[in-house]
Amino acid sequence: MIVASVLRSGGDFKPEHVYALQKMCAKYLPPHEFVCLSDVDLKCKTIPLMHDWVGWWAKMELFRLPSALYFDLDTVLTGDCTVMIEAAKQHDFVIMRDVYRGQYNPKAMQSSMMYWSKPVDLYDKFAALQMYTAGGDQAYIEHFMRDKVTYWQDICDGIVSFKADVLPKGVDDAKVVIFHGKPRPWEQTRIPYEIG
C-alpha cells in the first residue's frame, strides 16, 4: 500500500510536517510505502510534482498514482488505524464527508483523507481542463465522483475534526484528527503533535 502526501512550496507547510506525518504513519498504519509528491527536496521518497498548480490544486496530481491512501499534512494520527484501512480496502474510493456541509448535503466531500484502490481519472480530467473552481479540489472531486464514493464516516469510527469534534465536544478517543484550516496541529496543545 502506498501512503501519499503532498508538499507544495510557498505555503504554511514545510518538510518537517512531511516527516511528522511519515513518523505517525510508521507508528499507526499497517506496513506501507510512504511517498510525498513535492517540488521540494525531501529526506523521504519523493515523486516530483509535474505542474505548477496553485495551492491545494497540487493535490490533483495524487491521482497520477493508481492507488493510495492520502492524508493532508495537517492530519494527526493518534491510534492504530489498521481496522479503518482494512475497511477502506473493500471499496474503490473512500473520502470524508464534509464535517460542515455534510450536515445538510450527505454527498458533500472533504479531501483531507482519501483512499482509492484502482486508477481514478481525475488527474487526466484536471490536466486537460485546468479549471480552478470555487470550493477547490474538494468541489472538483465532488463533481466528478459524486455517485462513485464511499464515506469514511460510514465504514469506520475514529476519524474526527479538531474544530467540529475535539474543541466543542471534547472527543479524545480518535485515531485520526483532521485539522482543516486554523489552527494547524503545531498551533495548539490539545492533541499531541511532534514536529518530524
Instruction: Report the percent of the chain where pLDDT is more than 90.
Output: 70
Q: How far apart are CA 130 and CA 64, in angstroms?
A: 15
Round to whole Å and give the CA distance between 111 and 99.
Answer: 11
- The residue count for the chain: 196
Q: Could you give the angle at the alpha carbon of 174 between the alpha carbons of 170 and 178, nearest 5°? A: 90
Which helix (H) or strand (E) is 93 found in, with range?
Answer: strand 93-97
Averaged over 63-80, what is the pLDDT?
97
Given this model, what pLDDT does residue 143 score? 87
Q: How far apart are CA 114 and CA 111, in angstroms?
A: 6
* Residue of 136 and 119 predicted with greater confidence: 119
Taking residues 21-29, report their average pLDDT. Answer: 97
Q: What is the pTM of this model?
A: 0.94
Q: Provide the pLDDT confidence category of residue 129 given band limits of 50, 70 and 90.
A: confident
pLDDT for position 102: 60
Over range 51-62, report the average pLDDT: 91
Q: What pLDDT shows up at residue 179?
A: 95
Whether the per-residue pLDDT at 99 is higher than 90: the answer is no
* Helix (H), strand (E) at residue 136: helix 136-145
pLDDT at 195: 86
Q: What is the mean pLDDT of the chain?
A: 92
Between strands 75-77 and 176-178, the pairing is: antiparallel
- The reported pLDDT for the residue numbered 132 is 65
pLDDT of 139 over the 90 cut: no
